[in-house]
Structure 1
Amino acid sequence: MTSHLQQVNAALVVGASGGIGLEMVHQLLEQPTIHQIYATYNRSNDALQAISDSRLTQLPLDLTNEAQIATVVQTIQATTPALHLVVNCAGVLHTDAMQPEKSLRHLNPQQLSDYFLVNSIGPALLAKHLPPLLKQGDRAVFATLSAKLGSIGDNQLGGWYGYRASKAALNQLMRTTAIEYKRTCPNAIVVTLHPGTTDTQLSRPFQRNVPPDKLFTPQRTVRQLLLVIDQLQNSDSGEFFSWDGNRLPW
């Protein structure tokens, strides 16, 4: 069976300055059939900037800025007629000034807003501007990294209000996008993906209780995600998948 990844000519990785996004760029560059890869970053990353490959174009992007999203899409359109793969790896769990809320008493409007801006609204705005690059007759995949913590049905422990809610909203926004894309971009498959707990800056403060066999390297995470992406069918559009290919409850 021919790999769908071997049919990808052009790809976009959003959030390539993060651990998973950077590794996604590396592994896509290992695919000789991919002729062009666009990688966006919101902060300087020496490892990303050190990549020297004529197929890679790096573009600055703040996913909360719609004008910048539009500019990135227009820049890609100027050189590439269509994208066959878009992977959005951007997301926020914590910063120096923001930590996941353990209780209702820790909630504040600004932090909730920050979670939703990056984890929910940004990807929806990206979906808004991508259709001109996804309308081609070939198969295309638009995959956004979500989190199992965004599953309402799987929530047994509580806490982490803003992160959970923003990822749940992301899942709904992408499922609704998938329904519209069936009319406007009928060959585009839209999914959200749970990457598993990956040893990156995002998860590092929260790894203490993670069993060693459940803490993945970025290399393993990306291999697993690309395998899931490669096996997607048109009927999978609008679904929420774990790193092992299993569907997750909403």
Structure 2
Amino acid sequence: MSARVLVIGASGGIGAALSEALRARDAEVTTLSRAADGFDVTDEASVNSALEGLTGPFDAVIVATGALEIDGAAPEKSLRTITQKAMLDQFALNAVGPALVLRHAGRLLPRDRRAVFAVLSARVGSIGDNRLGGWISYRSAKAAVNQIVHTAAIELSRSHPQSICVALHPGTVETPFTEKYLGRHPAVPPGEAAGNLLRVIDGLTPDDSGGFFDWAGKAVPW
């Protein structure tokens, strides 16, 4: 039987590449996105309507939504440039949105076999690995989603003992999401990033649930 996978944020660079790579594996892929379905991860009613209309369970759910720049608000270079709107927008998309999806994890995932719920995070959300400062709103929102994922993993382990709930850092990927910020940072095409992420997902066990891993499968400090 082919795997059933739900990809949320499938119109983005990484989400689209993940969907394509999964179909190449003969997985049965269900996709949701703002562009194709009007799915708005920042709107509770939109999330509930879309997810309650799906028939599970899924062997994997991948949340690939997110943005570094929202409504033209670039990442802050200093504390002096923090604004309430920009910070709230970051939390709504990068933290609250995945949390709203995770509310449905109990119904979307099987209870009797291995299943993975993966949320794309970012290394800059690591508090322990923050040496440069800046990007306060984005960093904070990603740190928040890491906590959300870790907490969700604890709860899911009680009802879904074979479930794996993780945050994943895809590396720097060449997408419209990052093109203004690549600079001298090495980046990979979306297809390569998708392959890396799927290899990490393939290798996860329930003992890894609640963890934060990079594209190579290495643990990222909280």
- Where on the TM-score scale, by shorter chain, does this alignment land: which range? over 0.9
Matched, 1:89 2:64: yes
CA distance in 1, matches of 2:88, 2:2: 36
For the residue of structure 2 that corresponds to 1:158, the secondary structure is coil
Count of residue correspondences: 222
Which residue, 30, 43, 50 being the options, matches 1:72? 50
The CA distance in 1 between the partners of 2:59 and 2:75, in whole Å, is 35
Selected match of 1:37 from 24, 29, 43:
29
Aligned to 1:48: none
Q: Which residue of structure 1 aligns with residue 143 of structure 2?
A: 168
Shift of 1:186: 1.9
Q: TM-score, normalised by structure 2?
A: 0.96
How far residue 208 of structure 1 moved from its aligned partner, in angstroms, is: 1.5
How big is the shift at 1:199? Answer: 0.2
Percent identity of the aligned residues?
Answer: 40
- Counterpart of 2:118 in 1: which secondary structure? strand
Structure 2 counterpart of 1:3: none
2-structure distance, mates of 1:197, 1:97: 20
Match of 1:19 in 2: 13
Letter of the aligned partner of 1:65 in structure 2? D
- 1:8: Cα distance to partner? 5.3
Displacement of 1:169 in angstroms is 0.4
The alignment's C-alpha RMSD in Å is: 1.3
| Aligned positions of 1:1-250 closer than 5 A | 9-32=3-26, 34=27, 36-44=28-36, 59-77=37-55, 81-210=56-185, 214-250=186-222
Q: Please give the secondary structure, in 2, of the residue aligned with 1:156.
A: coil
Gaps of 5+ in 2: none
Task: State whether residues 75 and 135 of structure 2, in contact with CA within 8 Å, keep that contact through their aligned partners in structure 1.
Answer: yes
Query: CA offset at residue 130 of structure 1?
Result: 2.2
Instruction: Give the superposition deviation at 1:135.
Output: 3.5
TM-score if structure 1 supplies the norm length?
0.86
* CA distance in structure 1 between the partners assigned to 2:13 and 2:193 by the alignment: 10
In 2, Cα distance between the equivalents of 1:178 and 1:136?
A: 14
Q: Is the 8 A contact 2:171 2:214 kept in 1?
A: yes
CA contact (8 A) 1:73 1:130 kept: no
- Does the CA-based 8 Å contact 1:8-1:85 persist in structure 2? no
Higher Rg of the two aligned structures: 1
